[in-house]
Amino acid sequence: MIWEKLNEASCDAVTNQDCANESDSCTWNQVQTGPNFDADTAGQYRLTLNYAGGCFSQYYFNVYENILEPNVSSRDIYCNTAGEIVVGGVPSGYEYSIDGTNYQDSNVFSVTTADIYTVYIRQVGVSPNPMYFYSTRCTN
């Protein structure tokens, strides 16, 4: 298995930006070998699988950078008044959880037990592998 990233200056861009460039005139730079590769840089990639007898298969794909920058604010529990955790900076199309299991559309959580909470944010309607984001916030 050979993982490669496109040198985008080496060939003309494709007209449909959702498609990876499969042109034979492109130059590809090897970034990893083996079954595992962590794509941490946006760009166009291909995976080459080599088989016995000199045969191979190539798969082209794009990696996108997610520019989501959530912020979390909290209000502490005070006497008999519940605390609150509010997630901001997130556009529509996401849902929220403070237990990683039960998700809600609202970005506001009422908190009645003092603890350290992790806020989970995931894309709605993306299956089977939505993007997840985490933010830890202390509520007393």
What residue ranges do the domains of the chain occupy?
Answer: 2-63, 71-139
pLDDT digits (tens, 9 = 90+) for 16-39: 887 889 999 999 999 999 999 988
50-90 pLDDT, tens digit each? 999 999 999 999 998 877 888 899 898 888 899 999 999 99
Dihedral sign (CA 15, 21, 24, 27) = positive
Mean pLDDT, the chain, whole residue set: 88
Asked whether the whole model's pTM tops 0.85, one would answer no
